[in-house]
Structure 1
Amino acid sequence: TGRSCEDPWVVASSLIGATRQLKFLVAVRPGLHQPSLAARMAATFDRLSGGRLLINLVTGGDRAELAADGVFLDHAERYAQSAEFIRVWREIVTRSHEGEAVDFDGRYLQVQGARLLFPPVQRPHPPVWFGGSSEPAHALAAEQVERYLTWGEPPAEVARKLADVRARAERLGRRVDFGIRLHVIVRETEDAAWHAADALISRVDDATIAKAQEALSRMDSEGQRRMAALHRGGASRSRAALEISPNLWAGVGLVRGGAGTALVGNPQQVAERIREYADLGIDAFIFSGYPHLEEAYRFAELVFPLLPRAVRQRLQGQGAAANGPIGEVVANVDAPSRLRAQS
């Protein structure tokens, strides 16, 4: 979602026509986007994709990258701004189905008469996904989002985070779903999987790790701090040092920011670890691998057959049909469908 990535909206848009069932989790960045513009982008994408958009609210944690993008708020202020942003975004998109406008006068954001003339397919709005490990992040998740995401920490730590967000949401009369972000290294045998994990970092020298960790330490992200604590700076690269929970390996985080853990093992072991997280209440898993395409094939061939039937059935779902826009907007005020309904 930052400068190390291609622009997510451009990339995702380029794939709409090449896919039928794939859903797109696309980032919005408070401070870089304005909520009215983000609402138009989301509604357009949702219509063109037939209702396949998911929104990833990203507050950011790399102060140098944020400064380069013109964002100079501290950690607490960024979360306060993000809370205002997603509140306004949700209201604009939700009210678009009835042709209503939104006024908002907050500390960080102000809009007057914000309207979205062409609503999205999904009602009331595309689901909002969000991850964060700090107290302000948990508060935002409980109040504003549909799905809370965590990086791959040991199950006991994940359980504590989920319990906190769940309890906060319940006090507000809300329900939040949960997801997890992990890498995967799966092979037909356990030995082969751990050999692949060792090979992945075999050419990373101490100087590279030190440089990466020094850069990551400047972030003010609680999630990044928790990832770094798992591998303890890479003092040792042995399996004993980096296997922080059964089949959960922290080696990726030696040089990668963000999600720094991988499930490593044979198909049965990986499937069992997935079930352990699912038992905590997680029903969305975001996986990746190195190289990504090859690991995706391995996962599909080796792990998919071991997943519960309900999970495999969900993979066969279809997206909704697009519903417009049709006609011409009149004087930048009314959508043709609204005028047609009033006539």
Structure 2
Amino acid sequence: MTPEFHLTLPVERRRAAALPPLPDFVTDLRPSDAAGPYERLARVGRAAELAGLDGVLAPFDPAGQDPLVVAGGLLRGSRHTRVTAEFHPGIATPVYAAKLSASLQRFSGDRFDWRLTVDLDPQTARAQGDFLEGAERYARAEEFLTVAKGVWSQEDYDFQGSFYEVLGGGLLFPLSGRAFPRVQLSGLSAEALALSARHGDVHVFGLDDDLDSGIAALRELSLETGREPVYGLRLPVLAREDDIEARRDALRLWIRRGGAREAFPEPDPCTALWPGFGTVGLTGSHEDGPAAGFHEPGLVGSYGRVADAVRGHLDRGVSVFFLEVEPHLEETYRLGEHLLPLLAKEKHHAG
């Protein structure tokens, strides 16, 4: 399996308070960066394509821009990059999601993928108008994917389930005949793994998941369905010329995002694992302790050490990597210039 490297796009952070007023002598009130919110994302998307990444992910942001809209713009502005939109099944009917996606596939040459987020935390789910809980979420996701694939591939498609009902549906010309989006799923619960065994094309794990057990469980379930997804990994990365420089910039990131210097966790010198990625509360309050919210593990180290860690995950069965970097534009170019060339041999041999 040829390894793939995708970039996770940024979401806009909410500001805790208004910026302080400017001094009276400032007469030019235009922002220093005249680019709008889409242009900033487009720059990162162009950087990902120039850097040689296989794709980008527009993540689900409950309070931010719609990932399907972002994906459409990025597909229009690129020639080769795959674009994944992350959304939850409650956003629309599966018939409408299929029609929208078939349009994007037609306009982009079949470069559009889905990532379904099934388990939202209850507060976020209710804010989105979704009041399903527990196993019902996975039952709805099952029906959502079943119906979407049904109307995509069949004429006069009928379906009657607990959440959706379709009578005489189906995509016709000019939307018919396109490749169905690759479906990315995640989760370690029995329901999540079963859904992925039946419908997933890529199952995405995190570094804090029990990767080996998850892959083994999903492979066993896949024997019953006759299909097996490939395995993906969310991977925050901070790579530099040497470990000392990487450690220094990890400390800068830690402090810039609200961490206390004395609480800085050292990157593991052998594995390059660092537990300090993530986000602190944007209010600036740290009543829960220094750097509360930094719970996301990732890789910090030299380009060679990070490349070795990626190779280790390839040996465990992972073939799709969703890289997370910050700041996005500069770090994306670093990936293309310094890290990806070290992994080019793996892509060449796998191809």
Q: Which residue of 2 aligns with 1:35?
A: 94
Residue 50 (1) aligns with residue 112 (2): no
> Does residue 139 of structure 2 align to residue 103 of structure 1?
no
Matched residue type, 1:113: G
Q: 1:200 is matched by which residue type in structure 2? A: L
Q: CA RMSD in A?
A: 2.7
Q: Secondary structure at the match of 2:244?
A: helix
Rate the CA distance shift 1:151–1:132 in 2: closer, same or farther, 3 A. Answer: same
Matched residue, 1:9: 68
Q: Which residue of 2 aligns with 1:274?
A: 310
* Number of the residue aligned with 2:37: none
Structure 2 residue identity aligned to 1:171: E
1:119 aligns with 2:175: yes
Give the distance between the partners of 2:295 and 2:113, measured in 1 at CA: 19
Indicate which of 144, 149, 152 corresponds to 2:207: 152
The corresponding residue for 1:239 is 266
CA-to-partner distance for each residue in 1:131-170, whole Å, 9 max, x for gaps? 112221111101111111112237xx21111111111111
Q: Which residue of 2 aligns with 1:73?
A: 132
The amino acid that maps onto 1:306 is: L
CA distance in 2, matches of 1:259, 1:83: 31
Quick one: distance in 1 between partners of 2:270 and 2:64?
Answer: 30
Q: Give the distance between the partners of 1:141 and 1:314, measured in 2 at CA.
A: 24
Q: Does 1:139 align with 2:194?
A: yes
Change (3 A) 1:80 1:259: farther
Q: What whole-Å deviation, never above 9, does each CA across 1:194-231 have from its counterpart, x for those lacking one?
A: 1111211214447xx9xxxxxxxxxxxxxxxxxxxxxx
Question: How far did 1:52 drift?
Answer: 0.6
**8 Å Cα contact 1:185-1:197 kept in structure 2:** yes
Q: Do the aligned residues in 2 keep the contact of 1:42 with 1:120 (CA within 8 Å)?
A: no
1:185/1:289 contact within 8 Å kept: yes
With over 3 angstroms needed to count, the CA separation of the structure-2 counterparts of 1:189 and 1:134, relative to structure 1, is same
Contact 1:30 1:81 in 2 (8 A): yes
- Paired residues for 1:1-343 under 5 Å: 1-95=60-154, 100-117=155-172, 118-119=174-175, 122-123=178-179, 125-153=180-208, 157-205=210-258, 236-239=263-266, 243=268, 246-253=271-278, 255=280, 260-311=296-347
Displacement of 1:94 in angstroms is: 2.2
What TM-score do you get using the length of structure 2 for normalisation?
0.73
Determine helix, strand or coil for the equivalent of 1:20: coil
- Residues 78-108 of structure 1: CA deviation (Å, up to 9, x unaligned): 111111111111111122xxxx122111112
* CA distance in structure 1 between the aligned counterparts of 2:234 and 2:327, rounded to whole angstroms: 17
Give yes or no for contact 2:62–2:128 (8 Å, CA) kept in 1: no
In 2: Cα distance, 1:79 partner to 1:107 partner:
12
The 1:205/1:27 distance shift into structure 2, 3 A limit, reads: closer
CA distance in 2, matches of 1:306, 1:140: 35
Report the alpha carbon displacement of residue 292 of structure 1 after superposing the two structures with TM. 0.8
- For residues 244 and 82 of structure 1, the distance between their equivalents in structure 2, rounded to whole angstroms, comes to 41
Deviation at 1:237, TM superposition (A): 3.4
Residue 294 to residue 66, structure 1, CA distance change in 2 (3 Å): same
The answer to which structure has the higher helix fraction is 1
The separation in 2 between residues aligned to 1:53 and 1:22, in whole angstroms, is 9
Which AA in structure 1 matches 2:347?
V
| Alpha carbons 1:46, 1:120 under 8 Å: kept | no
**Alignment partners' CA distance in 2, 1:171 and 1:127:** 21
Check conservation: 1:184, 1:295, Cα contact below 8 A. no
- 8 A contact 2:207–2:233 mirrored in 1: yes
Structure 1 residues 42-51 or 275-284, which shifts more?
275-284
Corresponding residue SS for 2:235: strand
Amino acid at match of 2:149: R
- Cα offset, 1:313, TM superposition: 8.8
Letter in 2 for 1:184: V
Q: Is the 8 A contact 2:185 2:196 kept in 1?
A: yes
Give unmatched runs, 5+ long, in structure 2: 1-59, 282-292
Q: 1:265 to 1:160 in 2, by over 3 A?
A: same
How far apart are 1:15 and its partner, in Å? 2.1
Q: 1:258 to 1:160 in 2, by over 3 A?
A: farther
Instruction: State how far apart, in whole Å, the 2-side matches of 1:304 and 1:288 are.
Output: 14
- Give 2:15's aligned residue: none
TM-superposed CA distance for 1:45, in Å, is 0.2
- Decide whether the 8 Å contact of 1:55 with 1:128 is kept in 2: yes
After superposition, the Cα gap between the structure-2 partners of 1:254 and 1:288, relative to the gap in structure 1 and judged at 3 Å, is closer
TM-score using structure 1 length? 0.75
